[in-house]
Structure formats: C-alpha cells, structure tokens
Chain A
Amino acid sequence: MALVTLRDVDFAYDERPVLRRISFDLEAGDFVGIVGPNGSGKSTLIDLIDGLQHPGAGEVLINGVPTNRFRRRQMACEVALVPQHFALDFDLSVREVVEMGSYCRGKGAESCGDAELTLARLGIPELAGRRFTELSGGEKQLVVLAQALMQHAKLLLLDEPASALDVSHQLRLFDLLKELNGEGLSVLCILHDLNLAIHYFDKLLVLSDGEVAAYGPSDEVLRPEIVEAVYGVRAYLHRHAGRTYLTFSPRLRPERRGRVHLVCGGGTGAGLMRELVDAGYDVSAGVLNALDTDEETGRELGLPMAVEAPFSPIGEEADAENRELMRRADLVIVAAVPVSHGNVRNIKAVLEVAAAGTPVWAVRGVLDADFTGVTAELEPAGVEFFADDAEMLAALSKRMPRQAGARGADAPAHEVDAPDTGALTT
C-alpha cells in the first residue's frame, strides 16, 4: 500500500479551482520534489496531504485511510510539515520551540529530551539556549525543521525550505534530507530551484495550473520542452563537469525582431548568441567546427548553423551553406574571432554579402588576431566596427538594420511595415 495516495483530487478555495484531477502515489521511502510556477497549487497540495484542507472531490489517503478520518494528533504522528512562512513573535527559547514538535507524541519521557539531539543532528546544537526571535532567517528555518523532526513522522513535507538559506546551507539541508531519507524517512519537498531539484531528487512532480504536468524520474521530467510548456520560458539543457544543468531565457516575443547571422568560433560568439536569442532575434551561425564551444552553444540553443568537421578547414559544402544563411540574414555580425587559413572563407563570404548590400557589424577585436590580412578589407567594404560585444548589443537595441528583400518567407507581415525601422547607413 502506498504511503500517500491521491485519487482524482479536485480542490477549490471558495469557487476558485486550485487543483484539478490530481492523482499520484507516494511510496514509503520516496524522495520526491514538487516544482511548478507560483500559484500552481503546490502549497495547497501539501496542505491536502497533511489533512489541513480536504478535497472537494476525490480522496487523499495516508496508508489507505482518508485524511478526514484522522485526529490532528494522529496525523501529526504520520505527517510532519515544514511551512514556508513561520511567525513567532514571543520570546521563547529555541529549545522550547523545538520541543513543541513532540506534542503529538504525548508527554512520554522518551520524546521529551531529544531537542538537543535533533538540533545537533542539524549542526546547530549551540542554538538550544538562544531566543528564537533573535535568530537569523536561515537559522529559524533550520529550527522549524528540527521542530518537525521531533514529530518522528514517517513522511516529511517541506514547503520551500531552502528559500531563506544561502548556498552552503541549502546544500547542507538537502544533503541532510537525503541522509534522513536513507534512514527511512519519506520526503516530499516543494522547491523552486530546478537545478537543485535535478541534482537531489529521485523523482519530481511538476504542477502546472493545478494539474500534474509530469511525474517521474527527475531527468525524464525536467526536459526543456516540459519546462517551456509549464513555466513559459525557454530552457536549455547543458552538461558540465559530469552534471546536467538547466539555464533559462525569457520566452521569445511573439513578433520576430529580425535575422542575424553570426561569424564566430572558439567561444568568441557564445555570449552574443545567447544575448541575441534572448533579445528575440532569429540567430544563425557559421561556419563552425563541430565540438567547438560556439558550435556546442548553438546546438544547445537549437540554432541553424553551417558546420564543418572538427579541426578541419572550411570545405565547399559548409561554405555554400553558410553563404545561404548569410544571404537570408538582415544583419551579419563578426565576432572577435581569430582568422587563419582554416576559416578565412568566412570573412570572404562576409565581404561578399557586404558588397551585396547586407549590413555587417564587427567587433574590433577581429582585426587583432588575423593571420591572413583579409580583415583589412572589412572597413573599406562598409563594415561598421564596435569596441566590444556590449557596445554592439546596445547599438542593436536602438537600431536593427532591416532589408526587406533579404528576409525569409516565414517572417510575419507586420515586420515589413514596422515604422521604427532604422535603415543602416553603410
């Protein structure tokens, strides 16, 4: 029998529905994180499991027994909750606060003395004699966790326990929860940091707008497409130092701001790529060598790119593809990429589109690491130079060059008529 079972649970505050058709099981020994946007019903779900609220339809079972059949004291012996907000303005000592947790266990002598032990377990034995009101926010959060542990319940619910903690305390807290889980405590924890969620939790429950959007092993659940659907932001999955990370960008604006082609390599364009994508441009890049840092970034961002084999000079095929991408662009940007015989074709292609009338902007650094001398031709070709990426991006936000004829067929019509279109002076 599952420790917690929710079957088709609906819940509404007054008439406002908060949770809809929630069904899932939590087995004894599970270590599960709950993630989801603000207002998706996470805290309400936890309140339902603790029997503080009762479902409008469906049922919430603890060990097979509906929560509304529990007395509060019995429930506190089964389920402990660490709330998100905790207010206590009275001058009680930390020991007194922690001991309140053993209330559900009655006045038995065996449950009274271990406030000190519980505090020691959390690494804060020195707080026992202090006054609760004098503690820092992070210390208070740990003391409330100690209070909940005094219940000796089988299931621990936590509502954003890491929100007031610095990074070291956060990691310590989750390590500790993991340790307690190893000793048989089941844990269900709301958290907002998706990267912490991936690292620490075996399973994740994703709530979206009152419904379960996904429930399963963390790496299967936090796929970029699910994150995008649930949070409405773009998510990118990165692998670094043996771990998986998510990074996020604001969701693209509905109107496209124009097409930018980036000539870069060796990490000189990764920052620009990300900034341009976040700012809402359609970005392409090339020619890049496979496994190059910029190529990896472009791949994570899902950009169209002209790619050559690793460590190889640019070949015919990649060059042709690159020129095609450039022709479709409203603006070509040259990053501070070193130029050698391997990638000289990129600069030649740039000179060609510049001659054809496409605006070209370049970071001045490109002139400094040129082993071919070809970049000297850029300025006469009408290329505009900027001191660095930041200056270029600032200029771009003020005047996006447009060339009606060079736009791809998929561009929305209203772009053509955009009144603020500042023509680039070349």
Chain B
Amino acid sequence: MTRLARTSVWPGISLAAGIFVVCLVLSLVLGPVSLSLSQLWHFVTTGPVPGDLQNAIFWQIRMPRVLLACLVGAELAVAGVILQDLFLNPLTDPYVTGVSSGAALGATIGIVLHWAQLPWMTVLALIGGFATLGIVWMAARRRGRIDIFVLLLAGVTISYLASAIVTVLMIQANQDMHAIIYWLMGSFSGRGWQEVEIALVAVPFMIVPLFFSREMDILLQGEKRALELGVEVERTKRLLLVTAGVLTAIAVSVCGIIGFVGLVVPHIVRLLVGPSHRGLLPVSLLVGASMMGIADLLSRTVIAPNEIPVGVVTTFVGAPLFVYLLRRGRKG
C-alpha cells in the first residue's frame, strides 16, 4: 500500500517563526535610541538593572511595548482567521461581531468619567466587549442554534449603535474629545507591563483553536456538511466564537481599535500556505505578531519624536503587500 506523505506544515511555520524573530529583534533595537545587537544581548541577559537609564528605557518602555504589539497582532490575526472561516465571508474582520465597538464604548465611558487610569479603562473596555458579545449571541440564538448570519447582522448593528453612543459622549465631553479620538485610533504609546499582562491572558485562547484545526477545515464546507461528516457543529462554533470574542476584546481593551491586521493577515497567509488550518492558524499568529511589531516600529520611528497612529501604518504596510500577493496568486 502506497501512502503519500501529507503535505507538511512545518516549513511554513519555521519560516514564519524565523521572520517573527527577525521582526522582534528589529523592533527591540530600533527606535529613538537605537541599540546595537550586542547591547540588546547584554540587556536581555542581565535583565532590568535599577539606576541604568538605557536599561530602564529598554526594560520599562521598549520591551513591553514591542511585546504588546506582537501579542495584539497575533490575537487579531487568529481572531480574524476564526471569524472569516466561521462566517465564510472574506470581508470579515475581528470587529464585525461588535465586540470592538462595545469595548470602545466601555473605554469612552472610562475616559468621560475620568477613570482613564489603568486598570479601570481596560476593565470597562473588556466589560463593554463581552456585553456586546452576549447581546449579539442572544440575538443569534434560534432553537438552541447560533445562526451565524443573524450573528453577523446583529454584530454590525450593535457596532453602529455603540459608535453612535460614543459620538454622543464625545460631543458631550468636549475636553475629553482628544483622548477619546486618540484611543479609538489605537496606539501602543505609553503602554507598559500591566497591559502586557492583560494581553498574556489571551495566550490560551490563541492555543485553543489549534486543537480544532480539523473541525475548522471541515466547516469550510458549510455547517450542514460538517454535521454530516461527524463534527459537533454547534459546540465547535460556540467555542470558536467565544474564543474570537475574547481575543478581540482583550486586544482592543489594551490598545484601542487597530484595523487591517485581522482582515488582511489571514488572507495573506491563505495565499502563502493554503486554507488548511493546521498551517493557517500558527502561521497567521506569527505573521500577525510580525506585522504588528513592524507597524509599531514604523509608527514610532518614521517621524520621531512624533508618532503615526499604528492603524495607519498597518494599512500602509498591509495594503500593498496584499495587493501584490493577490496579483501573484497562491504559489503552485
């Protein structure tokens, strides 16, 4: 009996991991105060040293910021993969479920109430995100099933509603308008270890989908076919929806709404390694982390000491790359 080897996903994952390491190193060494590789090695190996200014900049400012960017990028990319494949809709990004708008509303309330200090703002954003997920979830329940299209519509509707409330709050709270807009645009500026700790909570939620890659592959054929092939569709769908919701809520709560990564990274990775989730999920995770790391690097260096909003950079970096890959097509 001839048994052909399954196409391995490891070359793709290794390559993505390599790229991620390069991006991570670049993000850590470059900045208003650039470091040499040996300095980087020195700082990493010695750890935080009190009293050393350069060491403090590295450990207190740059390291948490870079880690946070990479974590958020990975979270959004994984959430994007999950939602695009659940909705079978290529235009889906992690924000369609309304979770991000809910989180934005929570954060805006925090700013207006002058609870803008951590952890309150993050907590309010998380509450807003989860409350929205709950509302959308209830709206989409039909006879014990989650109707994925109702969920999409409800998510978009709630998004608009939350955005409208945010607008009203912005107008009411004149003096806070700048803070709200800045938060909504999304940024890693001034974020520290506290945010990194929150973002780390999402790591298990990035791992969970990896165990469901086969189910997710089968779901690409639609829910009915998945049932026929033996997948417990409702259970899988719920688990994945909650996972994507948690990932999105956590990402938005620590850094605001950063667009494009969750939409475009899954597409780019599908073009590179194909739609099978054994490769798609881990590679998207790594590419999302790399892309966000580089985008944040550019946002803080291109017009230093000022910053370009990182969401603008992700779009500037991602759009041409995506168009190029679309034109080239998936490699044979």
Chain A residues proximal to chain B, CB less than 8 Å: 50, 52, 71-77, 80-81, 83, 86-93, 95-96, 99-101, 103-104, 112-114, 116-117, 128, 147, 151
Which of A80, A103, A117 contacts B218, CB < 8 Å?
A: A103
Which of B3, B7, B229 contacts A101, CB < 8 Å?
A: B229
Q: Decide if B14 is an interface residue (CB 8 Å cutoff).
A: no
A93 to B330: give the CA distance in the assembly, Å. Answer: 13
Further 18 A-B residue pairs, CB within 8 A, beyond A88-B220, A95-B6, A117-B1: A52-B227, A71-B232, A73-B230, A76-B230, A86-B225, A87-B221, A87-B222, A89-B88, A90-B220, A90-B275, A92-B275, A92-B276, A96-B217, A100-B217, A100-B229, A103-B218, A103-B231, A116-B4
A90 to B274: give the CA distance in the assembly, Å. Answer: 8
Residues of the A chain whose Cβ atoms lie less than 8 Å from the Cβ of B230 = 72-77, 103-104, 151
A151 to B270: give the CA distance in the assembly, Å. Answer: 27
Is the CB–CB distance between A76 and B217 below 8 Å? no
- How many whole Å from B109's CB to the nearest CB in chain A? 40
- How many whole Å from A252's CB to the nearest CB in chain B? 41
- How many whole Å from B287's CB to the nearest CB in chain A? 18
A104 to B4: give the CA distance in the assembly, Å. Answer: 21
Residues of the B chain whose Cβ atoms lie less than 8 Å from the Cβ of A99 = 6
Residues of the B chain whose Cβ atoms lie less than 8 Å from the Cβ of A114 = 1
Least CB separation from A79: chain B residue: B228
25 A–B contact pairs at CB < 8 A? A50-B228, A52-B224, A72-B231, A73-B231, A73-B232, A76-B229, A77-B230, A83-B224, A83-B225, A83-B228, A86-B221, A87-B221, A89-B88, A92-B217, A92-B274, A93-B7, A99-B6, A100-B221, A104-B229, A104-B230, A113-B3, A114-B1, A116-B4, A128-B4, A151-B230
A87 to B226: give the CA distance in the assembly, Å. Answer: 12
Which of A74, A83, A91 contacts B275, CB < 8 Å?
A: A91
A257 to B233: give the CA distance in the assembly, Å. Answer: 58
Residues of the A chain whose Cβ atoms lie less than 8 Å from the Cβ of B274 = 91-93
Which of B7, B222, B228, B276 contacts A81, CB < 8 Å?
A: B228
The B185-219 residues at the A interface (CB cut-off 8 A) are: 214-215, 217-218
Least CB separation from B235: chain A residue: A72
Residues of the B chain whose Cβ atoms lie less than 8 Å from the Cβ of A128 = 4
Chain B residues proximal to chain A, CB less than 8 Å: 1-4, 6-7, 88, 214-215, 217-218, 220-222, 224-225, 227-233, 270, 274-276, 330
A315 to B228: give the CA distance in the assembly, Å. Answer: 68
- How many whole Å from A157's CB to the nearest CB in chain B? 9
A147 to B276: give the CA distance in the assembly, Å. Answer: 16
- How many whole Å from B201's CB to the nearest CB in chain A? 30
Residues of the A chain whose Cβ atoms lie less than 8 Å from the Cβ of B225 = 83, 86
A72 to B225: give the CA distance in the assembly, Å. Answer: 11
Least CB separation from B220: chain A residue: A90
- How many whole Å from A9's CB to the nearest CB in chain B? 19
A96 to B274: give the CA distance in the assembly, Å. Answer: 11
Is the CB–CB distance between A72 and B232 below 8 Å? yes
Residues of the A chain whose Cβ atoms lie less than 8 Å from the Cβ of B221 = 86-88, 100
Least CB separation from B278: chain A residue: A96
Is the CB–CB distance between A92 and B232 below 8 Å? no
Residues of the B chain whose Cβ atoms lie less than 8 Å from the Cβ of A91 = 270, 274-275, 330
Which of B88, B214, B220, B276 contacts A103, CB < 8 Å?
A: B214
Residues of the A chain whose Cβ atoms lie less than 8 Å from the Cβ of B215 = 103
Residues of the A chain whose Cβ atoms lie less than 8 Å from the Cβ of B228 = 50, 52, 76, 80-81, 83
Residues of the A chain whose Cβ atoms lie less than 8 Å from the Cβ of B88 = 89
Least CB separation from B88: chain A residue: A89
A101 to B228: give the CA distance in the assembly, Å. Answer: 9
A76 to B227: give the CA distance in the assembly, Å. Answer: 8
A73 to B3: give the CA distance in the assembly, Å. Answer: 25
- How many whole Å from B330's CB to the nearest CB in chain A? 6
Q: Which of B215, B228, B229 has the most CB of A within 10 A?
A: B228
Residues of the A chain whose Cβ atoms lie less than 8 Å from the Cβ of B1 = 113-114, 117
A384 to B299: give the CA distance in the assembly, Å. Answer: 95
A114 to B6: give the CA distance in the assembly, Å. Answer: 11
Q: Which of B232, B233, B276 has the most CB of A within 10 A?
A: B276
Least CB separation from B233: chain A residue: A72
Residues of the B chain whose Cβ atoms lie less than 8 Å from the Cβ of A81 = 228
A182 to B4: give the CA distance in the assembly, Å. Answer: 29
A73 to B276: give the CA distance in the assembly, Å. Answer: 21
Is the CB–CB distance between A72 and B227 below 8 Å? yes
Is the CB–CB distance between B4 and A92 below 8 Å? no
A92 to B330: give the CA distance in the assembly, Å. Answer: 11
